[in-house]
A and B are shown apart, each in its own frame.
Chain A
Amino acid sequence: MTGAPDDRLRRARLTGARSARAVAAIALGGTAALGVPASPAAAAPTHVAIVVAGVGTACASAGGTGLTVVSSRFTVRTGQAPPYLGFVLTINDTGTLRPDSTHYWSYWHNTGSGWTYSTSGAGSYRPSAGTVEGWSFVNGSSSAPKPPRISYATICASSDPRPVTRPPAPTHARTSAAPRRSTAVPPAPHTSARHTLSARSPAQPRSTAHARSAARSTVPARRTAPTQNAVTPRTPRAKHNSAAPTSRAQSGPAATVALSDVPPVHPSSASAVPTIGAAAALVVLVALGGFAFWQVRRRAG
């Protein structure tokens, strides 16, 4: 599984990829121009577009920090203990709970002139409306790959609910024991904007014609690749520690999710009552503590 970063680096060094990107940028301007008149949101932007490489895109209302923006649409797990306090660890369960200098989510802004690496943390940066926030997971490489370039107009063109098909089987059933991402889902840093987010998969020759027609009808074609999971509705937070696979299993049939209808709520906790084992353990502990206390009192006379 160590071949992926090298692969990606080699791909990044190809000059062809760069020129393809330039072409894509020009083409993107075209699609954006096509999208503008159709959408009232683009006229006076009130939202922030989010591109999470390898996971999906979403449109969130502006106001708040980059962290609150991304966590309003995705299940974001942040570090809760030093040295990773407030550090974005996983987005929709993609990422790692044990980050290091080559495994982390990189944070990008696109304010109109392409992706720029963020110079401040997501918790302190406040994205302005009409900009695109990018996240791409650095998986073992020394430099952070840019997220796929998708314009604000493409993502936030319409506030109407857009039907989205969810893939039948997510490819990244992650556990805490296997912190590294499967290499089958690269973040696709250098794809053309017309491709889907997981356009690198050779099994998916998504035609440009299809993507263009999708862009015209202001419905991006990014949800159709079955190798990638889309923005899923929030599931109850999975127990990352417990041995039992609880809520992680996202059920099979392709569900239709309206992106804009995903309510910005937080995952409800799995259970308000302890399991039987935990309750028994607590009873044992109370008994032990009571014994110690009684022993102290007895010896004190």
Chain B
Amino acid sequence: MHRNGRLLHPAAWWLWALGLAYAAMRTNNAILLLAIVCVAGVVVSTRRGPAPWANAYSLLLKLGALTVVVTMLLQLLLGVRTPGHVLVHLPSAPLPHWAGGISIGGDVSAEAMLNAFVSGLRLAVLIACFGAANALAHPARLVRIMPAALYEVGVAIVVAMTIVPQLAESVVRVRAAQRLRGRRVTGLSGLRGILVPVLELALERAIALAASMDSRGYGRRAEQPPAVRRFAGGGVLLGLGAAVVGTYQLISGGGQRLGVGLLAGGTLVALAAGFVAGRRTRRTRYRPDQWRAAEWLVLGCGVLVALSYALAVHDPLAAGVALEWPPLRPLPFVATLVAALPAVATPEPPGLAPRGHAAVRSVQIAALEESVRA
């Protein structure tokens, strides 16, 4: 029994996961990638709440494994043939010239398969980081701490982000229900029996969401003159647009200075407009999340990982990895392990009933869900 446990501030967990995801973006070293997954798994296993969405990590871990398999399969069947240690020779079909660089079959090299595995693993790690953030703090809790001007945008993002976990949850529920009724849950006929109720559930959920949003005054502005409202909306839109263009500039390698300027300027304009819009909005929060020492620790771990990878990891991502065991990079590896510190150094989540008390547990889960929805 942990009576005085508490849920940490959602922003801390999301920033921590963002740090891990950034680290995964910077490397193609399999050891470091696996370290990130393991660290995220340890923290999730000890610090997730007792809610249904806390299974997001294992769900997305499975999706990540599927990603690795699909990437390797695509490489095997349709990949670009590069020279190397020939692993297997597939019968190749010569394609006409207009088919461009697409090749079918041919010599599949071990290097190509290894690199397909690593790139699939990178994607899987990114997905797992997203899953860890979801499991540790439901995105709906992020909406509560949104500035008022970004509230609508935030809700839209949350609805988009939770669609996959919610669909998966619906599928599980419908399958269980159909199995209890003694109907088939496999095969084509089983698929029909599952698909229709799932779509129905999604529609019902959307209607319920719309009703609850309407009842909570979603989209209404409190006593703001139209000019200020228009200015704030335009500012947010303009700022975010400039930030997107700046990001594109940075990624495409066009103008670095212009990209940074647009990104920073756009973010500033959006923040300023949001501040102006939010100043006169009256929105109260029920039991706001607190930011204490544990949150600083979690944030520090995320920043440490991101910083150490930014400074110490310079993998030539385009060149891929050589056909050999990945070398161990001590500094980023240790930094990644340090990111597991929140697993022991933060307060435990509340409401973890002792095992066996399923009824108590389900009541607690319901209470927790209610508190999140509020």
Residues of A at the B interface (CB closer than 8 Å) are 67-68, 71, 76-81, 83-87, 89, 97-100, 121, 123-124, 176-177, 237, 239-243, 266, 269-271, 273-275, 277-278, 280-282, 284-285, 288-289, 291-293, 295-296, 299, 301
CB contacts (< 8 Å) of B58 on chain A: these are 296
Since A67-B83, A280-B328 are in contact, a sample of 4 more A-B pairs with Cβ atoms closer than 8 Å, ordered by chain A residue number, is A124-B100, A237-B322, A266-B85, A296-B45
By the criterion CB–CB under 8 Å, are A81 and B317 in contact? Answer: yes
B interface, by DSSP: helix, strand, loop or mixed?
A: loop
Residue of A at shortest CB range from B42?
A: A292
Q: Is the CB of A273 within 8 A of B325?
A: yes
Instruction: Write out the residue numbers on chain B whose beta carbons fall within 8 Å of the beta carbon of A271.
Output: 324-325
Q: A81-B320, A285-B38 are in contact. Are A242 and B327 (CB under 8 A)?
A: yes
Contacting residues, chain B, for A85 (C-beta < 8 A): 80, 82
Residues of B within 8 A of A266 (CB): 83-85
Between B28, B39, B42, B321, the greatest number of chain A beta carbons within 10 A of the residue's beta carbon is seen for B42
User: In the assembly, what is the distance between CA of A243 and CA of B329, in Å?
Assistant: 9
Contact B324 A239 (CB under 8 A): yes
A280 partner residues in chain B, CB cutoff 8 A: 328
Q: C-beta contact mask, B71-99 vs A, less than 8 Å → 1, else 0?
A: 00000000011111100000000000000
| B-side contacts of A241, CB under 8 Å | 29, 315, 321, 327, 329
- Whether A289 contacts B38 by the Cβ 8 Å rule is yes
Residue of B nearest to A75 (CB): B83
Top-9 shortest CB links A-B? A80-B320, A301-B355, A97-B316, A80-B115, A277-B328, A84-B318, A295-B45, A86-B80, A274-B325
B31 contacts the other chain (CB 8 A): yes
| In contact, A86 and B31 (Cβ under 8 angstroms) | no
In the complex the two chains form, is A98's CB within 8 Å of B81's CB? no
A80 touches which of B31, B111, B333, B352 (Cβ 8 Å):
B111
Q: Which residues of B contact A285 (CB under 8 A)?
A: 31, 34-35, 38
How far apart are the CA atoms of A176 and B321 in the complex, in Å? 12
Give CA–CA (A158, B211) in the complex, Å. Answer: 85
B340 within 8 A of partner (CB):
yes
Cβ-defined contact, A292 with B115, below 8 A:
no
Cβ-defined partner of A176 (8 Å) among B42, B314, B329: B314
Instruction: Find chain A residues with CB under 8 A from B29 CB.
Output: 241
The contact of A278 among B317, B325, B340, by CB within 8 Å, is B325
Within 8 A of A (CB), among B8-50: 28-29, 31, 34-35, 38-39, 41-42, 44-46
Q: Chain B nearest CB: distance from A247 CB in Å?
A: 11
**Which B residues touch A295, using CB under 8 A?**
42, 45-46
Please tell me which one of the listed residues A71, A278, A296 contacts residue B31 in the complex, with CB atoms under 8 A apart: A278
B180 contacts the other chain (CB 8 A): no
Q: Which residues of B contact A71 (CB under 8 A)?
A: 83
CB distance from A208 to the nearest CB of B (A): 38
When C-beta atoms are compared, the residue in chain B nearest to A70 turns out to be: B83
Known: A80-B111, A278-B327, A289-B38. A284 touches B319 (CB 8 A): no
Q: Which residue of B lies closest to A124 (CB)?
A: B101
B2 CB to nearest chain A CB (Å)? 12
- CB contact between B319 and one of A177, A240, A269, A296 (< 8 Å): that residue: A240
Query: What is the distance, in angstroms, from A34's C-beta to the closest C-beta of chain B?
Result: 35
A11 to chain B, nearest CB (A): 29
Please determine whether B324 and A81 come into contact, CB atoms closer than 8 angstroms. no
Contact pattern, B 301-344, Cβ under 8 Å of A = 1, otherwise 0? 00000000000001111111111111111100100010010000
Q: Beyond A176-B314, A239-B322, is A68–B327 a contact (Cβ under 8 Å)?
A: no
A155 and B142 CA atoms in complex are apart in Å by 68
Chain B, Cβ-Cβ closest to A295? B45
* Interface set, chain B 109-138, CB cutoff 8 A to A: 111-112, 115, 119
Q: A149 to B101, alpha carbons, bound, how many Å?
A: 29
B112 partner, pick from A68, A80, A83, A84, beta carbons under 8 A: A80
Closest B residue, CB atoms, query A278: B328
Contact A281–B328 (Cβ < 8 Å): yes
Nearest A residue (CB) for B112: A80
Task: Give the docked Cα–Cα distance between A273 and B83 (Å).
Answer: 23
In the complex, whether B187 has a CB less than 8 A from a CB of chain A is no
Would B318 and A278 count as touching, CB distance under 8 A? no
Q: Using known A-B contacts A78-B82, A81-B119, determine if residue A121 contacts B318 with beta carbons closer than 8 Å.
A: no
Q: Which residue of B101, B119, B329, B337 is within 8 Å of A123 (Cβ)?
A: B101
CB atoms of B320 and A275 under 8 A apart:
no
What's the nearest-Cβ distance from chain A to residue B5, in Å?
A: 13
Smallest beta-carbon distance A163→chain B, Å: 27
CB distance from B315 to the nearest CB of A (A): 7
Chain B proximity of A145: nearest CB distance (Å): 23
20 A-B pairs in the complex with CB atoms less than 8 angstroms apart: A71-B83, A80-B119, A80-B319, A80-B320, A81-B119, A86-B101, A89-B319, A97-B316, A98-B316, A98-B318, A240-B316, A240-B319, A266-B84, A278-B31, A288-B38, A292-B38, A292-B45, A299-B352, A301-B355, A301-B356
Whether B253 is near chain A, meaning CB under 8 Å from some CB there, is yes
Chain A, residue nearest B122 (CB): A81
CB distance from A282 to the nearest CB of B (A): 7
